[in-house]
Amino acid sequence: MTKKYDEHHNCCYDVVMTTAPSRREITHERIVDVAARTLRRNGFDGVGVADVMKQAGLTHGGFYAHFESREALLAEAVERAGRESGTRMRERVDASLARGESGLRTVIESYLSEAHLTGAESGCVVAALSSEMPRQSATVAAPAMNRVRKLIALVQHAMPGGSKEQAMVVASTLVGTLQLARALGANAQGKALLAASRDALIAQYVTE
C-alpha cells in the first residue's frame, strides 16, 4: 500500500499496490492444479511426480525447486481440490439462501447429481479419497481431515437451525451414497441409488 496525492481535493489517499505473480508462482500453481485433478481421479497412490510434472509441461528435475517431497505436493493438492469444490458449493448455497430457498436442498441435489457421479476429477475430494485418508502420513492426513470438517461445516451452514450432529449425519450420507453409486457405475443402478438417497434426505431434512 502506498500514498497518492489528490491535487483536486488537496489530500492523500491509500492505493493498494498489486504485484503480478512471479513465473515461479505461476509454475507452482500449475503443478498443484494438475496434482489436484489427478488426485481426485486416481487417488493418492495414483499421483506420480514424473507424470504430474509431464502434464504440467515441466521436467521431472524441476519438482524439488517447488516441493520438499511428494507428500508436500499431496498435502497442497488435497487442500486445493477441497477448496475449489467447497467454494463452488458454498456459492450455490449462499445464492439459494439469499433467494429464500433451501440451502440444504441445493447441497443434496448438487452433491448427489449425475454430474457429480461422473465428475470425480472436479468433484468433492472427501468422496474421492476418504477411504484412503487414514492410511496417509500426518503431512497428508491433516489437510485431508480438515476437508472432512469443512464439508460438515458447509452442510451445517446450509441448514439454518440444524445441529452439528445432524450435519454429520447428512454429510456422511452424501459421501457414502456417492461412493457406492460410483462403485456401481454411471448406469441405471448407480443413478437409482443416487435418486433414492437424494429423495430420502430431502424428505427427512428439508422443510420449505
Beta carbons within 8 Å of 165's beta carbon, 6+ residues apart: none
First vs last Cα of the chain: how many Å apart?
A: 47
Give pLDDT, residue 160: 87
Tell whether the torsion through CA atoms of 60, 63, 69 and 75 is positive or negative. negative
Q: CATH code for 2-205?
A: 1.10.357.10
Domain definitions of the chain by residue range: 2-205
| Residue tagged 481426485 (cell numbers) | 40
| pTM of full prediction above 0.85 | no
**Residue showing cell 453409486:** 181
pLDDT at 21: 78
Kindly give the parts of the chain with pLDDT less than 50: 5-8
What would the grid cell of residue 87 be?
467454494
- The secondary structure of the chain as a DSSP string is -EEEEETTTTEEEEEPPP-PPPHHHHHHHHHHHHHHHHHHHH-GGG--HHHHHHHTT--GGGGGGT-SSHHHHHHHHHHHHHHHHHHHHHHHHHHHHHTT--HHHHHHHHHTSHHHHH-GGGS-HHHHHTTTGGGS-HHHHHHHHHHHHHHHHHHHHHSTT--HHHHHHHHHHHHHHHHHHHHH-SSHHHHHHHHHHHHHHHHHH---
- pLDDT for the residue 161: 87
